[in-house]
Structure 1
Amino acid sequence: MLAIGAAIVFVLALLLDLADVSSDALDYQTLVTLGLLLLALHLAGVGTSTNWRPRRYSRRRR
């Protein structure tokens, strides 16, 4: 999910850069930094689902 979020942020940054939109709070560099942060978190494994319950192995009768 974080990789999808990073892709969306990068698309928004590209659109803002192409449209030459400038704002004090939200600019191209801020969005690129946010996208890189989300991508780094994704590569670090944050947000991955892990099953902490023990697995029960059942033996079949033959």
Structure 2
Amino acid sequence: MLAIVSAVLFFISFLINAADISTNDVFTSTNIMLIGLALLALHVAGIGAGWNTRGRRR
């Protein structure tokens, strides 16, 4: 799930950079790209990969 969100953020960052859209200091293409990289790193680390269901063993 986090990988999909990071891919969307990378695409938004690309559009901001390619279209040369002026944004405020918080939503620059570099900041959005760094948030995407952080989410991708969390995904690779195993956080947000999904729930692991364990059944009862008897």
What TM-score do the two structures reach when normalised by structure 1?
A: 0.78
| Alignment of structure 1 residues 23-62 onto 2, 5 Å | 23=23, 24-48=25-49, 49-55=51-57
4+ aligned runs moved over 2 Å, structure 1: 52-56
* RMSD of equivalent CA atoms: 1.5
Aligned-residue identity in percent? 41
Q: Structure 2 stretches of 5 or more lacking a match?
A: none
Partner-residue secondary structure (3-state), 1:47: coil
- State TM-score, norm by structure 2: 0.83
Structure 1, gaps ≥5 residues long? 57-62
Cα deviation digits, residues 1-52 of structure 1 (max 9, x gap)? 0000000000000000001112222001101101100100000000121124
